[in-house]
A and B are shown apart, each in its own frame.
Chain A
């Protein structure tokens, strides 16, 4: 399992773009990068997953540089409802039925 490092917390204002970076220096060749969002007292929810370059869906974009040792979750024009904890997970389809969620990044969006 690749160890990940994220900022503990971030603040933003409504309408701004928020970028949360995750470091994963020991990412393996077959590993994917997956981000989850968790609201208070709710289960984490899948946001986006990528392997390399850029992935975009209706919720977010994920930027992965060529060396794949980090990734950036980009949330465009955040609103108050985006206040949540965001987790970065890195792993593949082998060697890891255990899942390790780090502390995540607590994003607080202000009006």
Chain B
């Protein structure tokens, strides 16, 4: 089954403790992206990747890192999480990244930073 898999589904951590949210897709997509969703602010793009070793900032990249060492994986790294990064995070992928393509989303990761 074609899917985007994120882990963990829920994560509670403390300020400053490094964490990684994993994202994997099994559709051989070149494009992958991370979003955060906050009440009243909709979905905001954090980082995206057009292919292996090619990443770029979205609208809200501060405090986040990403890497794309393999086509299927696109982890989101919070080196020193802060409470304002408490949010619902989604990973997504599409074939090449064009807006005329279908975006496939993961189930989400609810992160709480205390």
Contacts and interface: CB of A to CB of B under 8 A. Distances in A.
Interface string A88-111: 011111101111111110000000
Interface stretch (B12-20, B65-73, B78-86, B91-99): B91-99
Contacts, number: 72
Interface string B97-113: 11111111111101000
B43 A97 contact: no
B contact patch SS: strand
A91 B43 CA distance: 17
Interface of B: 4, 31, 33, 35, 42-45, 48, 50, 56, 58-59, 88, 90, 92, 96-108, 110
Contact of B45 (A87, A100, A103, A104): A100
Contacts of A36: 103
B42 A46 contact: no
Contacts of A1: 99
29 contacts: A1-B99, A34-B99, A36-B103, A42-B108, A43-B4, A43-B90, A43-B105, A44-B103, A46-B103, A46-B104, A49-B102, A87-B43, A90-B99, A91-B98, A92-B99, A93-B96, A93-B98, A93-B100, A94-B98, A97-B48, A97-B50, A97-B56, A97-B97, A98-B48, A99-B33, A99-B99, A99-B103, A100-B59, A101-B42
Nearest to B31: A97
Nearest to A32: B100
A17 B107 CA distance: 28
A60 to B, nearest CB: 14
Nearest to A93: B98
Given A42-B107, A43-B92, A102 B56 contact: no
Task: Identify the interface centre among B33, B48, B99, B100: most chain A CB within 10 Å of its CB.
Answer: B99
Contacts of A77: none
